[in-house]
Structure 1
């Protein structure tokens, strides 16, 4: 299993709206993708910013292409993200999961 990790930030005032956007738009998109297993979506507040971490779990590296395209290291964004995010990290991190209990 592969964990794909993305991090992003919004203004604190966009915390609830971005969380709802992720629930309505992004999470269903992940769930319908072949090879998707599960996800963990987290938020915290640091220095008056809402910080998000999204960890998605996939069967293997190859199936991540079903969601991200051929360059799986490149972060995927939705058009609506421009209304919320402060910056747009270009890359995501991938880790091979060797234990999941």
Structure 2
């Protein structure tokens, strides 16, 4: 299993609206791809800036390619992100999941 992590920053004043956008647009997009196991959006407010992480779990690199394209580590952005993000980090991070416990 592969864990894919993306990081983005918004102005704190736009954070609630961006969180709603991610819930309504990004999560369904991730979940629509066969091989996506799970997705979580994490938020941390830091003064006038808010950080977001999307943490997704995938069954294979082929599944990630279906979502992000052939350049597996290149970040995927939506056109709407232009209205929210302070910058566009070009890459994501991938981690191999080596241990996990499912909580009911």
Corresponding residue for residue 10 of structure 1: 10
Where does structure 1 lack aligned partners over 5 or more consecutive residues? Answer: none
Corresponding residue for residue 65 of structure 1: 65
**How far 1:43 moved relative to its partner?**
0.3
Corresponding residue for residue 89 of structure 2: 89
TM-score by length of 1: 0.97
**How far 1:14 moved relative to its partner?**
0.6
Contact 2:13 2:48 in 1 (8 A): no
Where does structure 2 lack aligned partners over 5 or more consecutive residues? Answer: none
Contact 2:12 2:47 in 1 (8 A): no
Instruction: Count residues in correspondence.
Output: 101
Q: For 2:33, what is the secondary structure of its paired residue?
A: coil
Map 1:19-98 onto structure 2 (within 5 A): 19-98=19-98
| CA deviation map 1:58-82 (0-9, x unaligned) | 0012210010001111000000000
**How far 1:100 moved relative to its partner?**
1.2
Q: For 2:98, what is the secondary structure of its paired residue?
A: coil
Question: Structure 1 runs of 4+ off > 3 angstroms?
Answer: none
